Structure formats: structure tokens, C-alpha cells
A and B are shown apart, each in its own frame.
Chain A
Amino acid sequence: MNKRITESFTKGKAFIPFITCGDPSLEVTEQLVYAMEEAGADLIELGIPFSDPTAEGPVIQAANIRALSGGVTTDKVFDMVEKIRKNSSIPMVFMTYANVVFSYGTERFVKKAAEVGMDGLILPDVPFEEKEEFDGVCKEYGLDLISLIAPTSHERISMIAKEAQGFVYCVSSLGVTGMRSQITTDIGAMVELVKKAKDIPCAVGFGISNPEQAKKMAGQSDGVIVGSAIVKLCGQYGVECVPYVKEYVKAMKDAVREA
């Protein structure tokens, strides 16, 4: 298991923000990482944009398109991470789609990601059945391939949890990423099934946007992941987004602390 990821769950409940690299620019993405770290983020998910992100709702889809139109490439993202690592040691994981990794050359991608200082990788279109192709390489280079479980996983949870690395990403709701007014899944029960199979942190994502939800979800798990609500601020404020995101992350981290 990656040491930095494991440590990010040792200081109480974790808050994990997601941003899309290059939205609105890679310079702003770098500044966002520092600002979110200062605001109390425990681990940061960096999205490498993909043209056709099938697990994303409209907010993150739009961010992917903005980033790609701005000329972001996987290599430019690696360069940015290398720069960040000179100033920050916050745990960071990439979140992208299988084809971004595969087309780069899976081993070449993972090796490079480890070299520039990434700690893990989330691939929402790689389920348990397909993970071998990526997992072996990740282990070799010290990256955690993060496993996801969903409200439909049921009896699969134990099998997935047993082989999970870093933390388990608990998808809170059916559907794609995006803000939701209500989360009806019994997160506590999902987390319990994971813990029965393996002692590993569980972070809940999909649909969480306000401090009340964050507090509630953190109460039933080890941490909370928020993407669309932050990406929406990036879309709304563009190059001016950094202070708004910082303030939001601080409020969310405060709520998570109360859980």
C-alpha cells in the first residue's frame, strides 16, 4: 500500500477534493492544489481529462471538454505534477479513464506517474474483472489502484475489498457524478461489508455537495470525496476560482471534522 495514501486517513476523517487538470489552465490547477492543501484537504484527486467520460455527469463532462480545448495532454499533466511535488507532499491520485492510461502504454504511464510523485490511480471504467491488467503494474511502481464499490455491488463488495489497495471508493448513488439533493443508499452497511473483508479506509463520493451531506457521509465512513461542486466553481469563476474553491474546501473540511 502507498504510504502517503494510508497516512491521509490517520488524522481523523478525510476530505478529498477532485479537480480536472487544466480547467481552466494547468497553472490554476497547480494553485488549486496548494490552496486546497492549505484549506485542509487530506488527499487530492487530479482528473486527467478524457474526451468521452462515461461515468461523469454534465458538470465534469464540461470541465473535461474545457481542459482538452485548452490543449491539456497527459504529458503536460505529468509536468505539472512534477512542479507541484517541489512544493507539496500532499497525497495525490489520478482519476482518469482506461484509454488514457492504455494508449500512453500502461507501464509507461504508471512508471511516469510514480516518478513525478503520484500515489494512486482511479479508473472508473475498470471493474474488478479487468483490474489485473493495471494492478500488477501499479504494485510494481508503488501506486495504489483504487477500487470502487457501488450501491449495486452487494455480494461483490467482499471480493473487491479483499484485493483493494489504499482506500475503497464507495459510490454513494446510482448514476453518474454530480450534485444530488439526497443520498438514499445505506452507506453504513456498505462500509461495514468492506471492513468485514479488509481493514481499509472507505471514502464516499458521488453526489455530495454541501457541509450537511459531508458530515453525514463522513459519520458513516472514513472520508468524503467531492468533485462536481468544486468543478462547478472552477467553471463559474474560471481563472479567478482559487479563493472560492479554497473557502469551499475549508467549509467542507470543517463539516467533516465535526462528524
Chain B
Amino acid sequence: MSKGRFGVHGGQYIPETLMNAVLELEEAYNHYKNDPEFNRELSELLNEYAGRPSRLYYAAHMTEDLGGAKVYLKREDLNHTGAHKINNVLGQVLLAKKMGKTRVIAETGAGQHGVATATAAAMMGMECEVFMGKEDMERQALNVYRMRLLGAKVHAVTSGTATLKDAVSETMREWTNRIADTHYVLGSAMGPHPFPTIVRDFQAVISKEIKEQILEKEGRLPDAVLACVGGGSNAIGTFYNFIEDEGVRLIGCEAAGRGINTAETAATIATGKLGIFHGMKSYFCQDEYGQIAPVYSISAGLDYPGVGPEHAHLYDTGRAEYVPVTDDEAVDAFEYLSKVEGIIPAIESAHAVAYAKKLVPTMGKDQIVVITISGRGDKDCAAIARYRGEDIYE
């Protein structure tokens, strides 16, 4: 079995053209992750630039309303650029800079990872190009403008379903085209080794902080942590430092779209099977001949037919649970959190809030649930308004 495995999942299923690039990246990462100077610089960026640590907010009104476990919200939406994506991007762009790269490329779905990459590139003086599905560029026009404002070139991807999966494919193609000066800032805990490990390590700051903060506030660990899962970067970040704590339930909320019994879903663990795609072995939505399914979710960030290999492994071992959440439930939760707590979550994060609304009332008042609010929802307002039949323009 090759390197970078999580059980049977993971690996490096990529063209030979890219092999030396990922080997070089692995070597650089293994060096810098233990380099005190690199870690000092990264901590400073995370704290002074991105605004970490993010708050662990006690959602008193939601707790009271749901009448079960105490609810805490991990406020990744308060980070600079409005989502957890910046944690990984600052790490990877700093690493790329140390490796002598002068150009970064990235895929984006909802646009949050593209904006974060464009931001870090602007700040660290790197050239930046972002690949985004044409469909998503229409769904997330404001983020396209933000990326361009930050100096990035945004390329519309028209192949396939013109969404996140096609953006990943196109960014991989671009990387094979120009490797020497270019680093691919992969945005989720997926793809070929070492990306799933690198992204997880840079996002693990989320669970590291949750642990410290909840111990300080409650003197004990939570009973469950919840996060939405597309590729799974905020979820693996939320889970990672709790994996050894068997008493903490790890719950990933997948995008079921119009329902897992329909073809219009992106719930990979609920509906997918084992396969090989985008550099990794993992679960994918696909047909009987291995053709990747054209998935659907209202959330551009979760509209992906696969899931990161470490999640696939956590599912296999039973350590983490994965639940499907429909568009309708996510939109209800988007509106719910806005009204009850005055926090507009990203539609992606609303998937985790939606499941919490079902779970929390079944738990005791002495129990604790932490939901990671992976991003802010301003970007989604126009789309949700349209979903509710109100035509507003950004």
C-alpha cells in the first residue's frame, strides 16, 4: 500500500507529471511543520491577520429554544474572509512561499476558498489564479468580484457540471501545465497525499481551540461536535483533536440536496461507493460503471461527489457518524440561526445547524454540543431569497 493512507482510503492516484511535485510538497511540509520559525510565522498570521482564536459562543437562545443539550457555536465565520478556509490557505501559501513558488492556483466552489487564497496571495505577494465552475460563478457572483478585487484571475470552468468537481479537475490540469513556479492550494482535506494530511493539520486548530475553550468554560469535553461535510476540511478540523476522546460523538452533516432517494443529492457517504478519483481512494457518488455522478446541493461548497479519505476511514471504523441534511432543512436552519441568535451562517454551515436542531432536543440538559459555523452567510442571502421566491439582486 502506498503512502498517505487512512485505512484503505487515500493514496496518490495522479498523473506521473505531478508525482515529483507532490513528493517535493511532502518533503517541504515534513520539514516546515517542525520548523519553529515557520510555526511562529503561521501563528502570527493566524492570530494577527485572520483573527484567531475564533470564539466559542454559548448559544443561550438556541439552547433554551431547543430544550436539550447546551449548544456552543465555534465561530469560524468570524475569521478574516468569513470562513474556516483561511486557516488552511495561510498555512499552504506560507509553505509555498518557503518552497520558492511565486504563483498559486486554487479551485473554489462557493468561492470562500478562492477568496481566501486570493487574500493570502495578495498579502504575501504571490500571483493567484482561481478556477470556478461557471454555474457557481453565477450562484456566487459577489465572491467572484471579491477575488478579482484582490488581484486574482478567475477562470470559468465550463466542463462537466460546471461546479466544484470540475473546478478541481481543471485546477489539476492547470497544475500539470505549469509546475515549477506554481503551488496548488487545495481547499479541502482531499486529493492526493499529502494534501489530506496537510489540510487536516492546518484546520486542526479548530478542534484544538474548541477543546481548550470548552474545558475553560465547562470544565469538561463536549458530548458531540457537529460540522458540515463536503470534501470535509472544516469537519476534519473540528473532529481531529477529539478522535482519541471516545466519549465525544463526531457528526458530519452531508448535503442531501433534494433528498438521498433522489438523483439530486451530494450525500457521498449516504449514497456513494468506494472509488478512485481526484487523486484519492474514497467514497464517491457514481454509477455502476464508475462514472462520477452529477451531484446537486443548494450549497456550492458542499456540491461535491466525493469526501476526504480520512472521513471515509472514520466512517468505516464507526468513529464518526455522517448524516444527510436536505436543502429544505438547511434553508430552515439558515433562517433559524439568523432569527434566534442573530448569526447568519453560511448555507454550508446551516447543514450542521439543521442536524443539531434534531439532535439537541433528544439530549439531556447536562450535555454539551458544539457546532462549527464554518462560514458566514452574507454570500448566500440572494440565493436563499430566490429559494424562497423573492428575487433580489446583489
Contact = CB atoms under 8 A, between A and B. Distances in A.
Given A99-B284, A99-B286, A100-B290, A54 B173 contact: yes
B15 A127 contact: yes
Interface stretch (A4-12, A169-177, A227-235): A169-177
Interface in A119-164: 124-130, 132, 148-154, 156, 160
Interface string A89-103: 000000001111111
A68 B278 contact: no
Nearest to A56: B173
B173 to A, nearest CB: 5
Interface residues of A, number: 42
B289 A104 contact: yes
Given A100-B290, A103-B290, A127 B19 contact: yes
B286 A103 contact: yes
Contacts of B165: 52
A50 B173 contact: no
B16 interface: yes
Contacts of B13: 98, 125-127, 130
B3 interface: yes
Interface string B261-300: 0000000000001111111010010101111100000000
A55 interface: yes
Interface stretch (B175-183, B233-241, B331-339, B369-377): B175-183
Given A99-B277, A99-B286, A150 B169 contact: no
Given A102-B290, A103-B286, A103-B288, A129 B20 contact: no
A147 B274 CA distance: 25
Contacts of B278: 54
A125 to B, nearest CB: 5
A25 interface: no
Given A104-B290, A124-B15, A175-B173, A152 B275 contact: no
A69 B110 CA distance: 28
Contacts of B289: 73-75, 100, 103-104
Given A152-B21, A154-B20, A129 B2 contact: yes
Contact of B276 (A73, A99, A152): A99
Contacts of A153: 16, 19-20
A209 interface: no
Contacts of A61: 159
Interface in A18-69: 50-52, 54-55, 57-58, 61, 65, 68
B47 interface: no
Contacts, number: 118
B120 interface: no
Contacts of A151: 17
B185 interface: no
Residue of B19, B21, B160 ringed by the most chain A CB atoms within 10 A: B19
B160 A52 contact: yes
Contacts of A128: 16, 19
A104 B274 CA distance: 11
Nearest to B3: A129
B275 A102 contact: yes
B323 interface: no
Nearest to A157: B16
B20 A156 contact: yes
A58 B295 CA distance: 22
Given A52-B166, A130-B11, 12 more contacts: A54-B15, A55-B15, A57-B173, A97-B276, A99-B286, A102-B275, A104-B289, A124-B15, A129-B12, A130-B2, A150-B15, A156-B20
Interface of A: 50-52, 54-55, 57-58, 61, 65, 68, 73-75, 97-104, 124-130, 132, 148-154, 156, 160, 171, 174-176
6 contacts: A52-B292, A55-B173, A97-B276, A152-B179, A160-B16, A174-B178
List 4 A-B pairs, minimum CB-CB distance, nearest first. A103-B290, A175-B177, A150-B17, A98-B276
